[in-house]
Amino acid sequence: MDFAAMRRKMVDNQARPNGVTDLRLVAAMLDIPRERFVPPDKAALAYMDGDLLIDAGGPGKAARFLLAPMVLARLIQTADIRETDRVLDVACGTGYSSAILARLAASVIALEEDRDLAAKAVRLLARSGVGNAEVVRGALTDGWTTSAPYDVILINGAVEYIPEVLLAQVREGGRLIAVVGTAPIGKVMLYRCAVGDVSGRPIFDAAAPPLPSFVKPRTFVF
């Protein structure tokens, strides 16, 4: 299959028509082989306009997806990543989003809680020649305090809330970007830290697969 041509179509038909204009981001999407970061039997679907299953999950384990290319691209563009930024990529999966982010930022911490996905991310990022992204394992909702604070935190999936511990890892002047809300549609929220206070505002509507770790605890109502 001509994956290079498929990447071009992904950019021309999905990203650019939806307002993705950052030339560095476009170049990264054209260059990084998305098909490498999906299961071999799904390589032909790597550039489809939608979320792509990368792990079916199982007992006690949630299914995981790569975000739709357009949604991921708009999230990254909204985060306004600079060449000097340090980025935390929460729920990095197999590492595709981290590979894109690593082209734009100085360094990336790729956080994953699933052992198998983390191992794949390590292998695939190395195979792709990404030298400024480090894969770490831990609870997604805890972030990665060891390397905090960050200029940008990106959450790969829909969440019901943003934990305070994650917000506390945003550097002064930094940003956190995530899809907040429940299916079928959520709001992309951009949080900024200014004078020690983090506040958010909605940017656009988007759908994304939920991250079960970020489900609000249910309370009993009398």
180 closest CA partner among 150, 151, 201, 152: 201
Alpha carbon of 199 to those of 77, 174, 195: distances in Å?
Answer: 19, 11, 11
pLDDT of amino acid 221: 56
Residue 219 lies in a domain: no
Alpha-carbon gap, residue 208 to 184, rounded angstroms: 8
Residue 206, both tokens: 């988007």
> Which regions of the chain are under pLDDT 50?
none
**What sign for the dihedral angle of Cα 11, 16, 19, 22?**
positive
Instruction: Give me the pLDDT at residue 147, please.
Output: 97
Give the number of other Cβ atoms within 10 Å of residue 125's Cβ. Answer: 26
pLDDT of residue 58: 83
N-term to C-term CA, the chain: 58
The CA distance from 22 to 74, in Å, is: 10
How far is the C-alpha of 48 from the C-alpha of 66, rounded, in Å?
11
Provide the number of structural domains found in the chain.
Answer: 1
The DSSP 8-state label assigned to residue 6 in this structure reads H
pLDDT of residue 61: 84
Residue 72 lies in a domain: yes
Residue 222 lies in a domain: no
- Given a contact cutoff of 8 angstroms between Cβ atoms, the answer to whether 158 and 134 are in contact is no
Q: Is residue 107 part of a domain?
A: yes
Whether the Cβ atoms of residue 100 and residue 81 lie closer than 8 Å to each other: no
CATH number of domain containing 45: 3.40.50.150
193 in any annotated domain: yes
In a domain, 24, yes or no: yes
- Write the DSSP assignment of 33-50 as a string of letters: -GGGGS-GGGGGGTTSSS
Asked whether residue 95 is assigned to any structural domain, the reply reads yes
pTM: 0.95
Helix, strand and coil content of the chain, in percent to the nearest 5, comes to 35, 30, 35
158 falls within a domain? yes
Note the pLDDT of residue 196: 84
Domain span holding position 125: 3-214
Q: How far apart are CA 220 and CA 222, in angstroms?
A: 7
pLDDT of residue 67: 97
User: Nearest to residue 71, comparing CAs of 96, 108, 94?
Assistant: 96
Q: What CA–CA distance (Å, rounded) separates 174 from 134? A: 20
Predicted confidence at residue 57, as pLDDT, reads: 86
